[in-house]
Chains A and B, each alone.
Chain A
């Protein structure tokens, strides 16, 4: 089944403890992206990747890192999480980017930073 898989689904952590949220897609998509969703703010793009080893900042990249060493994986790294990064995170992928092909979303990761 074609899908975008995020793990974990729920995560509670403490300020400053490094964490990684994984994202994997099995559709051979070139484009992958991370969003965070907060009440009243909709989905905001954190980082995106156009292909292996090619990444760029979205609208809210501060406090996050990403890597794209393989086409299928696009992990989101929080080196030193803070409470303002408590949010619902979505990974998404698209064959060639939203201009040409629809986005497929993962089921989300709800992160709480205390």
Chain B
């Protein structure tokens, strides 16, 4: 059974701080790892990571994947109150199907205080 574990489960910081969110996984047929941001509604896509060691970056957010150690991190620098959200990690198992299976972690609740 595929497993995705995120840490910490919750985090409280002040504006301007840098945070690192962790995601470890056990997947039978790993294809990709995804990060989502969820603010009181539908998750919105942030990054898809398929190859080890290649950093994906979008503004103050960046993420990297280590396929040897089976984990990914999501970094947010110079945090703002608008970064407050639940951050979800998910992995795609290619399995024996043509459509794949997505398994989510528990999520990390990030709260950024002014």
Within 8 A of B (CB), among A46-79: 50
Which B residues lie within 8 Å of A108 (CB)? 41-42
Are the C-beta atoms of B105 and A99 separated by less than 8 Å?
Answer: no
Number of residue pairs spanning A and B whose beta carbons lie under 8 angstroms apart:
57
Interface residues on A, range: 20 to 34
Are the C-beta atoms of A103 and B102 separated by less than 8 Å?
Answer: yes
Which A residues lie within 8 Å of B94 (CB)? 99
Are the C-beta atoms of A99 and B98 separated by less than 8 Å?
Answer: yes
Binary contact readout B32-49 vs A (1 if CB under 8 angstroms, 0 otherwise): 000000000111110010
Q: Which of B42, B92, B104 has the most CB of A within 10 A?
A: B42
Q: With both chains docked as a complex, state the minimum distance between the C-beta of B52 and any C-beta of chain A, in angstroms.
A: 19
Which B residues lie within 8 Å of A94 (CB)? 99
Q: Does B4 contact A (CB under 8 A)?
A: yes
Which B residues lie within 8 Å of A96 (CB)? 98-99
Binary contact readout B76-107 vs A (1 if CB under 8 angstroms, 0 otherwise): 00000000000010101010011111111111
Q: Does B67 contact A (CB under 8 A)?
A: no
23 contacts between A and B (CB under 8 A): A4-B42, A31-B99, A40-B106, A41-B106, A42-B4, A45-B102, A90-B42, A96-B98, A96-B99, A97-B97, A97-B98, A97-B99, A97-B100, A99-B92, A99-B97, A99-B98, A102-B45, A102-B48, A103-B102, A105-B43, A105-B44, A106-B42, A107-B42
